[in-house]
Amino acid sequence: MGPKTTKVYDTLRDRLIAGEYRPGDKMPSERALVEELGIGRTALRQVLARLVTEGALEVRGRSSYRVPGKVTIQTPEGVKPWRIHGERDLYDNQWVKLQLWDVEPPGMEQFEHHVVKLQHVAVTAVLDGQDRVLMMWRYRFVPQQFGWELPGGIVDAGEDPADTALREVVEETGWRPKSLEHVVTYQPMVGMVDSPHEVFVGHGAEKVGAPSDLEEAAHIEWVPLADIPGLMARGELMGSGTLVALLHILATRAGRGATA
């Protein structure tokens, strides 16, 4: 895409990230966008096609575009939460806290349940214009295994997770994403472990230097999205954050030219 087309792409993507168009909303017509953004219809369709390929839009009808993600199922009513009567620490340091919670499920007797509190984490999948994702090949001593991971790290106290995501990508890879979009917050082991994971997707990146975190930077590579299912089958994708982010990308691109 040329500079003008790229500017229109950036404008529409920024609007989508900012929530100006909500899930399920119909996008303005091509005629309205052409007039508002000062772009030709052919160039606009190139921009919209790219947003569809990235999963940011979906096509409805011949030339109607909507924001995906509308939910139709209703939240169940009348289901009661567990009651928490108290908690006590068994072990605590800056990395991990082990506790016992006194809990009471609905209709059952109270009992003590172990709870592990870990750090708040941000993970980022950065995509380029060639259907590749920025990844690191590194060794994890706990499973004693090499594998591919996305950049990520701990959210400092008072820090915006988006700032963490950006900082960690730069420190661990030397690349700076041009944009970041929050995808989901999830808990990797929701039954016992409290460790919120924030997943971001970035689009485009510029090389700003060498990685400053040498522990993380064993090897850095732009990996084709077409390789992800095979790497998953070989067990070479490390960590739940990496899997959640990449599965999100593959799911939103299904049938939309996701492969390189």
CATH of the domain at 141: 3.90.79.10
pLDDT for 257:
42
Is residue 148 located within the same domain as residue 217?
Answer: yes
Q: In this predicted structure, what is the pLDDT of residue 216?
A: 64
Q: Give a yes or no: residue 74 inside a domain.
A: no
Mean pLDDT of 99-116: 96
Alpha-carbon distance of 148 to 179, in angstroms, equals 22
Same-domain pairing of 141 and 212: yes
Whole-angstrom distance, CA of residue 66 vs CA of residue 32: 15
Is 35 domain-assigned? yes
Residue 140 in domain: yes
Give the pLDDT mean for 171-191.
93
- The pLDDT value recorded for residue 18 is 79
Per-residue pLDDT for 259 more than 50? no
Show Cβ contacts of residue 50 under 8 Å, excluding neighbours closer than 6 positions. Answer: 1, 9
216 beta partners: none
Lowest mean pLDDT among 32-46, 60-74, 101-115: 60-74
- 100-105 mean pLDDT: 96
Of 34-38, 61-65, 103-107, which gets the smallest average pLDDT? Answer: 61-65
Let me know if residue 145 belongs to a domain. Answer: yes
Q: Where are the beta strands (DSSP E) in 105-218?
A: 111-117, 121-127, 132-140, 145-149, 152-154, 175-177, 180-186, 193-194, 197-203, 205-207
Domain that holds residue 28: 3-66
Average pLDDT of the residues of the chain: 90
For residues 112 and 36, state if they share a domain.
no
3-state SS assignment for residue 138: strand
Q: Is the pLDDT of residue 191 over 90?
A: yes
What pTM did the predictor assign? 0.78
Do 38 and 126 share a structural domain?
A: no
Give the mean pLDDT of 61-65. Answer: 75
Q: How confident is the model at residue 258 (pLDDT cuts 50, 70, 90)?
A: very low
How far from 151 is each of 24, 201, 207, 214, 242, CA to CA, in Å? 31, 11, 15, 13, 9
Structural domain total, the chain: 3
- Over 70: is that where the pLDDT of 254 sits? no
Higher pLDDT, 113 or 3: 113
User: Are residue 50 and residue 97 in the same domain, yes or no?
Assistant: no
Is the pLDDT confidence value at 142 over 90? yes
